[in-house]
Amino acid sequence: MRKSEKVTIGVVFGVMLLILGLSVGYATAFSQVLTINGTANVSQRNFVVKFKSATSKNLVTGSSAQVTSDDTVTITAPLTKPGDSETFDIVIENAGSLDAVLDSFVIGEITSDGADAETLQKLKNDVKVETTGFVAKSDLTAGNTVSGTVKVTWDANSTNQYSKDVAANFTVTFNYIEKQ
Amino acid sequence: MKKSKQLIIGTLLLFLSLFEVGYALSSSTLNINGTAKISGSLDVQFSDVTTTSNATASLSSDNRILTISNVVLNNPGESATVNFKIRNMGSQDAILNSFTFTGNDDADILITFPSFQEGEVLTGLTGERDNSIVITWNPTSYVAEKTIEFSAVLNYQQQL
């Protein structure tokens, strides 16, 4: 082996050692281990405000109240003379995990299927619908209930007469939203 | 570049969709559907009309007018009687607000009306009242022939 060949082999080995050294150095001096330890709690956020119960105080014969679905109550009050009234106890429940606010509630106008204009006006004058216990903008926190009443009255001072039985229909609408 | 734009738009749409779903889940509308059944008929009628043989009586089609006729009294002291009921066929209680008699002031033919009282109440559906009207030729009358007219008007109202 000639001297120049020995030098060449030496240089090659030298370079290989250098590369090897750099790799080792990189592996030891510049590598890092990053660790993330996390815990994620997942809870179901549900908004469920619904009717819990509806009962009639049975002040007049034949009245009824029924929770027909989570968001619907049906009440009926037979009123036979001026001054008659019926009161219904209503309970609304926040069965979800989010606090709610009664954003608004509205007592709708009296309607009557098939009634002529004169009869409808009589009904609007005679049939009064009132609520107690329900306050707009009030909170209904998760897991709690709110109780109130709906009272239907035939105006005691009415002198209107009806030639046949008529039905005065009305709706009370409660609009709950998530508390901000 | 085009692919990344599509990805961004897709992400925004997904975000908006989730937002809408989230909003829908955070409100609730409850309804109370109510019905007040107004059974308001005031319906007071005459019924069960009977007469003695010397008189006839008939009712109008709505049973609110009772007509007495053909009363034949041949001698002083004779009388004819008409019996009838007043019934409250409606659901509302009815109160006798006023009444007016005419023709019962004749000296020869005496008319005896029932003793109505203002404020009498006929309860809805079940209330009824038995009545009689008696027409008598006054025994002390010397008139040979006479005809009179008489009437009774009863004004019932819904009891408040």
Rounded to the nearest 5 degrees, what angle is found at the Cα of A175, between the Cα atoms of A169 and A180?
170
Instruction: State the first-to-last Cα distance of chain B, in angstroms, to the nearest integer.
Output: 83
Burial A108-132 (b: 16+ CB within 10 A, else e): eebebeebeeebbebbeebbbbebe
Mean predicted confidence (pLDDT) in A156-180: 88
DSSP-assigned beta bridge partners for residue B130: B85
Residue A113 near residue A120 (C-beta atoms within 8 A): no
Residue A171 near residue A111 (C-beta atoms within 8 A): no
The candidate with the shortest Cα–Cα distance to A146, out of A180, A104, A177, A101, is A101
B29 touches chain A (CB under 8 A): yes
pLDDT digit string, tens, across residues B57-94: 999 998 999 999 999 999 999 999 999 999 998 877 88
Rounded to the nearest 5 degrees, what angle is found at the Cα of B122, between the Cα atoms of B117 and B125?
165
A48 with B158: Cβ contact below 8 A: no
pLDDT digit string, tens, across residues A30-48: 666 766 676 666 566 789 9
- What is the distance between the alpha carbons of residues B58 and B40, in angstroms, rounded to a whole number? 28
- Letter for the amino acid at A60? V
The ipTM (two decimal places) reads: 0.73
pLDDT digit string, tens, across residues A137-165: 999 999 999 999 999 999 988 878 776 78
Give me the residues of A, 119-158, that contact B with CB < 8 A: 123, 126-127, 129, 150, 152, 154, 156-158
B39 touches chain A (CB under 8 A): yes
Query: Whole-model pTM?
Result: 0.58
pLDDT digit string, tens, across residues B94-105: 899 999 999 889
Max CA-CA distance within chain B? 128
Smallest CA–CA distance, residue B114 to chain A, in Å, is: 27
Alpha helix positions (H), A30-157: 117-126
Q: A100: part of which helix (H) or strand (E)?
A: strand A100-107
B33 with A167: Cβ contact below 8 A: no
Number of cross-chain residue pairs from A and B with Cβ atoms under 8 Å apart: 143
Give me the residues of A, 28-87, that contact B with CB < 8 A: 46-51, 54, 71-83, 86
Q: What is the chain A residue with the closest CA to B39?
A: A165
